[in-house]
Structure 1
Amino acid sequence: MRILDTHLHLVYPDRFSYPWLENAPAINKPWPVDAYFAEAEALGIESALHMEVDVAEKDMLAETRFVATVHPRVIGAIAACRPENTDFPAFLDVLAAMPQVRGLRRILHEVPDELSQTPLFAENIRRLAVHRLSFDLCLRADQLPIGMALVDQAPDVQFILDHCGGPDVAGKGLDPWRSYIAEFARRPNVAAKISGIVAYANPDWTVDDLRPFAEHVIESFGWDRVVWGSDHPVCTKTANLTRWVEATRQIIAGASADEQAKLLHRNAEHFYRVGGH
């Protein structure tokens, strides 16, 4: 079963500045594309979408332009942006003119909650609909109500909720995360990404530690509104890429071939408009 990885981070410190990596010493090093595919191809990962790596604001466009042509198997990019800025419309026009850009993201789990709650932020997110660009939501579990409020203000935009909504896997924090996810799933313009949960787990995690989080997201959103992502190299905090792919396959082993295909590549091709969509 082939996989389209919707959440690949490539790190090139010789080209771009990543201020946040100073606080993440375990992964603060180069993560080039060839090294990723050397492991990924054997796992059935045939293609990937590059997810912006929260580079310094001055490097945002340069990162997007670079990854757009970095490797033939990187078939699109989710670009960094700042919807809180008044110059966002002009910035969006530049991104929208790049055919490799399939969506945008602004990291929200490490900024003040108020940043995404302004009328300007919502107005700028609504602009994505005209360009058929999606918006990835990266939130902590406690911020999920903030995400829902934003979604409600942009009903014509396709949102993708990253990392199963940021649950506390290590602390087995199922509640109130579970009820938030169920409520989030009632919004038809949101899909959910099965990703990131290994980085939220203890280093000695087992598949059974991850299973209730992944299964609840799939049950809530349904097989038609879930996609898969590696979150590489962030996943290497507690596992390598191989182990996360193997864990995913174990979690979905009881699903039909059609359901597995939806999660692993078909839905991603639809929501991010790649592979002929």
Structure 2
Amino acid sequence: MNIDAHQHYWDPARGDYGWLTPDMKSLFRVFGSDDLAPLRKSVDVQKTVVVQAAPTVDETRYLLDLARGDDSIAGVVGWVPLDSPDAVKIIDELARDPKLKAVRPMLQDLPDDTWIEHAPRKEAIERLIDLDLAFDALIFARHVPSLMRFVERYPTLRIVVDHGAKPPIRDGIDAGWQPWADGIAQLAALPQRLHCKLSGLATEANPNWTEATLKPYVAHLLDHFGPERLMWGSDWPVLNLNGSYTAWHSTARNLTSHLEKAEQDAIFGANARAFYRL
């Protein structure tokens, strides 16, 4: 089964997507399953993991409501205020829905780059572990030291790094490569064996990106995480800002075509299924 391990649905009228403004004309509208279905089918993707795009519990409830009526949604990555005294109560409420598979604080948007190492409440993270829920880490290279401390504190928490830690591809390989490449190597070497999403790379590139543009970044992720810990995701519809579903899927397929079929199958479905308990 082919799985898109990272995509979004939203309705701007809900009013809690602070980053989504009317000037983002290609994104500022409702995106739902009917929009994605023909794109999925064109590349033979059967299931998806829908990821939160607003830092609110209400948006997570909205996504879970969508998932209940849509077999193509295999799982939901939601949002919980992990630093709140009510965090455990909220986790328990949301986890009653079997399609809740993980939570994601939007670390890239927080003013404190070290938030993850000191702010989440211990009992909240331990509850995620008790319920066998995973954790999506939305980070840049600058967050790596704090994320590593968090990982070391909770060695049994399943963690996936979103979007390959968002390398600064548009700055050129000479300008932004090293801090990102070093951070990936450090995270991949942790004994907890973090996973990583092969997603979001097109968004971080210039508009005229090509397969050659993304090749060194994909190769570096493969070298360190290996095909057994990478999972493909579209990041649709954010992807629409700088690419298309079919173009990114084709590029990712081409850049992993040298692998054995079982390894390709792992990246494009099996790893997501196992990691998220789909």
Q: Same fold (TM over 0.5)?
A: yes
Please say if residues 7 and 230 of structure 1, whose CA atoms lie closer than 8 Å, have aligned partners that are also in contact. Answer: yes
Q: What letter corresponds to residue 135 of structure 1 in structure 2?
A: F
Distance 1:59 1:20 in 2: 16
The farther-off stretch of 83-92 and 18-27 is 18-27
- 1:24-103 equivalence runs, <5 A: 25=24, 26-54=26-54, 57=56, 59-103=58-102
The farther-off stretch of 76-85 and 120-129 is 120-129
RMSD: 1.7
Distance 2:57 2:153 in 1: 29
Which position in structure 2 is the counterpart of 1:132? 132
Which position in structure 2 is the counterpart of 1:157? 157
The farther-off stretch of 114-123 and 140-149 is 114-123
Distance 1:23 1:166 in 2: 24
What secondary structure, in the 3-state scheme, does the structure 1 residue paired with 2:249 have? Answer: helix
Map Cα deviations across residues 35-66 of structure 1 (whole Å, 9 max, x no partner). Answer: 111111111111101111115x2623432332
Task: Give the superposition deviation at 1:70.
Answer: 4.0
What secondary structure, in the 3-state scheme, does the structure 2 residue paired with 1:75 have? Answer: strand
Map Cα deviations across residues 98-134 of structure 1 (whole Å, 9 max, x no partner). Answer: 1111111111001122432325445522321100000
Distance 2:162 2:60 in 1: 22
- Aligned pairs, number: 272
Q: What letter corresponds to residue 212 of structure 1 in structure 2?
A: P
Which position in structure 1 is the counterpart of 2:238? 234
Please say if residues 61 and 94 of structure 2, whose CA atoms lie closer than 8 Å, have aligned partners that are also in contact. Answer: no
Q: What letter corresponds to residue 187 of structure 2 in structure 1?
A: F
Task: Give the superposition deviation at 1:154.
Answer: 1.0
Change in Cα spacing, 1:24 to 1:219, as seen in structure 2 (3 Å) is farther
Over the matched positions of the two proteins, sequence identity in percent amounts to: 26
- 1:179-194 equivalence runs, <5 A: 179-187=182-190, 188-194=192-198
Distance 1:72 1:103 in 2: 18
Map Cα deviations across residues 153-210 of structure 1 (whole Å, 9 max, x no partner). Answer: 1111000000001110111221121111111011224101100010000000011111
Change in Cα spacing, 1:24 to 1:166, as seen in structure 2 (3 Å) is farther
Which position in structure 2 is the counterpart of 1:169? 169
Task: Give the superposition deviation at 1:31.
Answer: 1.1
Q: What letter corresponds to residue 252 of structure 1 in structure 2?
A: T
Map Cα deviations across residues 6-32 of structure 1 (whole Å, 9 max, x no partner). Answer: 111001234453121027614122112
Structure 1 residue runs without a partner (length 5+) = none
Please say if residues 223 and 262 of structure 1, whose CA atoms lie closer than 8 Å, have aligned partners that are also in contact. Answer: yes
Which position in structure 2 is the counterpart of 1:107? 106
Q: Does 1:199 align with 2:203?
A: yes
